[in-house]
Structure 1
Amino acid sequence: MRHGPPAFSTAQKPWPTEFLCYKNLWRYPMSTNETDTALYRRDFHAWAQQQGALLRRRADGALVNDSALDWSHIADEIESLGRSEESTLSSMIGTIIEHLMKLQASPATDPRRGWMETIFRTRKAVARHLRKNPGLKSMLATMVTEETPDARQTVLYALDLYGKQPRLDVNSLTYSAEQVLGEWYPPDQ
Structure 2
Amino acid sequence: MSTKTTTRPSTSYDDDFYAWTQDQAEKLRARRHNEIDWDNLAEEIESVGRSQKSEIRNRLRVLLQHLLKWHFQPELRCHSWQSTISEQRVHIEGVIEDSPSLSAFPEDALDWAYRGAIRKAAEETKLAQDIFPTACPYTIEQILAYDFMPGRPWHPDDLIGD
Give yes or no for the alignment of 1:180 onto 2:134: no
Report sequence identity in percent.
27
Shift of 1:111: 3.9
Query: Residues 21-59 of structure 1: CA distance to partner in whole angstroms, max 9, x if unpaired?
Result: xxxxxxxx224xxxx7xx11111122112211111000x
Q: Distance in 1 between matches of 2:104 and 2:25?
A: 31
1:40 match: 13
TM-score normalised by the chain length of structure 2: 0.80
Paired residues of 1:144 and 1:176 also in contact (CA < 8 A): no
Question: What is the correspondence of 1:1-189 to structure 2 with a 5 Å cutoff?
Answer: 11=2, 17=6, 19=7, 29-31=8-10, 39-58=12-31, 64=32, 66=34, 68-106=35-73, 109-160=75-126, 165=127, 169-172=131-134, 174=136, 175-182=138-145, 183-188=147-152
For these two proteins, the number of residue pairs brought into alignment is: 151
**CA pair 110-12 structure 1, distance change in 2 beyond 3 A:** farther
Task: Compare the two structures and name the one with the higher strand fraction.
Answer: 1
Unaligned runs of 5+ in 1: 1-9, 20-28, 59-63
Shift of 1:65: 5.5
Dislocated runs of 4+, deviation >2 Å:
10-13, 109-114
Unaligned runs of 5+ in 2: 154-162
Q: Distance in 1 between matches of 2:116 and 2:151?
A: 23
- The one-letter amino acid of 2:150's match is P
Q: Distance in 2 between matches of 1:44 and 1:12?
A: 31
Structure 1, 119-128 or 39-48: larger mean CA deviation: 119-128
What RMSD over aligned residues (CA atoms) do the two structures have, in Å? Answer: 2.6
Q: Distance in 2 between matches of 1:65 and 1:114?
A: 50
Paired residues of 2:64 and 2:117 also in contact (CA < 8 A): yes
TM-score normalised by the chain length of structure 1: 0.70
